[in-house]
């Protein structure tokens, strides 16, 4: 979000007409959405955004006056955390965020808020990319690829400051031209997952479609690690990934979908059904694409799911 992308006049047009009405509208929307979110959380289904830094939400979820981009980036999480209780926080790929920033992020939200740390780290790269800041590493094979001890040395100090309930390991794509036998890769993955600390719930996001095999899902199952379900370039469609009988592979599932589109709603509905049947926890994270704003998409989705929520209620009535 560049400085020139901060159209203050357009964003605050209704605020300038009447701040009281503007704020009441934001409060009503937030209260209504929060009620739905808390109701689903009681059934082990939580929703969050992949990022809270969308100025399009001003007037919908956000009611503060943000006079500049920097002010918005610095403070919007406080308003987000009054409604949602989770969000992705990107970390990496060539170093963790400053400690002071992580401490500040944790301070801005309540005790019930839980970050999902999305870790991109060198230990998740089979070969260093040609854009690596260290010129000596560019294009070279990574000798520390999938080494649990090295990953934890690099990221655990930051994770302790943030206190996430979930850590997503975003693996760089491993291209077919590398000619790495899948069996070798799975053995390395098995050793890697076995070496991870059990302090956190772990999920793997892979960009290598050839790896999404029954053996891969069995490996995740053995270590109670989730496969992050996401529509990612080069990967099978998300509904095809959902068709695998071993999903969810762990006692929890992580779903990452985009706003809009029938597939996103179908994926959420199917995973809620499957996780409820198997009594597993579900984390759903929404990424804003063209079309609806994330809070509006979530509100409409949860409203459409109200019938399912009512059936889960012991009182057989709407819970939100």
Give residue 16's pLDDT: 62
Give residue 313's pLDDT: 63
How do beta strands 229-230 and 201-205 pair? unpaired
Greatest CA separation for the chain: 64
Indicate the SS3 state at residue 183: helix
For residue 227, give both structure tokens: 């496969």
Which residues of the chain fall short of a pLDDT of 70?
1-18, 210, 313-320
- The CATH number of 3-312, from 3.40.50.12780, 3.40.50.300, 3.20.20.410, 1.10.540.10, is 3.20.20.410
Closest CA to 121 of 76, 82, 91: 91
Give residue 100's pLDDT: 96
Q: Which residues make beta-bridge pairs with 256?
A: 230, 285
Nearby residues of 250 by Cβ (< 8 Å), 6 or more positions away: 220, 221, 224, 225, 226, 280
Q: Where are the alpha helices (DSSP H) in 144-293?
A: 148-162, 182-194, 214-222, 238-242, 262-278
């Amino acid at each position: 979000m560049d400085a020139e992308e901060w159209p203050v006049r357009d964003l605050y047009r209704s605020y300038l007409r009447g701040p009281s009405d503007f704020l009441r509208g934001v409060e009503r929307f937030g209260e209504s959405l929060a009620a739905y979110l808390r109701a689903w959380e009681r059934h082990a289904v939580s929703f969050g955004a992949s990022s809270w830094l969308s100025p399009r939400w001003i007037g919908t979820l956000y009611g503060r006056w943000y006079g500049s981009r920097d002010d918005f980036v610095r403070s919007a999480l406080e308003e987000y955390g009054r409604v949602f209780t989770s969000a992705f926080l990107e970390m990496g790929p060539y170093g963790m965020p400053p400690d002071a920033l992580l401490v500040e992020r944790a301070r801005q939200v309540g005790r019930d808020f839980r970050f999902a740390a999305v870790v991109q780290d060198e230990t998740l790269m089979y070969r260093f990319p040609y854009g690596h800041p260290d010129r000596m590493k560019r294009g070279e094979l990574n000798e520390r690829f999938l080494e649990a001890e090295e990953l934890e040395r690099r990221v655990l100090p930051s994770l302790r400051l943030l206190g996430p309930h979930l850590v997503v390991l975003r693996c760089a794509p491993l291209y077919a031209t590398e000619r790495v036998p899948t069996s070798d890769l799975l053995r390395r993955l098995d050793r890697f997952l076995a070496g991870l600390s059990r302090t956190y719930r772990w999920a793997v996001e892979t960009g290598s479609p050839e790896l999404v095999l029954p053996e891969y899902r069995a490996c995740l199952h053995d270590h109670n690690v989730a496969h992050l379900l996401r529509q990612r370039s080069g990967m099978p469609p998300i509904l095809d990934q959902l068709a695998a009988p071993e999903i969810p592979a762990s006692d929890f599932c992580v779903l990452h979908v985009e706003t809009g589109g029938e597939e996103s709603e179908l994926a959420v509905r199917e995973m809620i059904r499957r996780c409820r049947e198997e009594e597993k926890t579900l984390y759903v994270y929404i990424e804003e694409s063209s079309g609806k704003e994330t809070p509006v998409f979530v509100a409409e989705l949860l409203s459409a799911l109200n019938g399912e929520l009512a059936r889960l209620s012991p009182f057989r009535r709407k819970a939100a």
